[in-house]
Structure 1
């Protein structure tokens, strides 16, 4: 499931992507997309950042897992049809053990609609990790 429409920029430790909200979006309701889907937009921004980083190192893109979303703050109840959301993810901590933390924002026309601190985990061998059970 890919919800991000476009990667706009990638810089040291950060990525900015765009999500266009329209009636055919996954998770679209009658009046728009519920704000809780924003956590997934953020997680996919982090995944895109990880994929870009892996490819820049000549490595394959690996599966990652959303561990937690903390300090979630929402200024809206839903994202409206016609919105063009900027999803900004900024690396806070990314050690070599696969566990990473990102500060994330969703912005529309300069207004911050949602923020969160997201923790993710990218095991060295995701298939083995899944076979061991969670």
Structure 2
């Protein structure tokens, strides 16, 4: 299962601007991507949003995972001089750029995102990614 890891900032040479990339892991395997899309079509995004919103322990786990990602981004960009809009985006949004990651209802965004993080870095193993892998 191919997963790509990306630095949280990209420089667009054509436009001459920095672009924040709040998603650092991506599913590259087309079959895996399609299989995850089929799970999304079956309503598992809503299933997980409800499950995490209703389970305080699970909700806190995911908030901590978002914070772990923010701290990782901070570490990666700390010795660089990026524009304020880049720093703000990377340090104020959670995994995948999810806003209000610490408020209910919990927002999943997509199963691809959580699966990519689950596979991309052991520190980001999570129940959504595990759920997806078990169903493939």
The structure where helix makes up a greater share of residues is 2
Q: Which of 1 and 2 has higher RCO (CA within 8 Å, sep 6+)?
A: 2
With the shorter chain as reference, the TM-score category is under 0.3
**Length-normalised TM-score, structure 1:** 0.27
**Length-normalised TM-score, structure 2:** 0.27
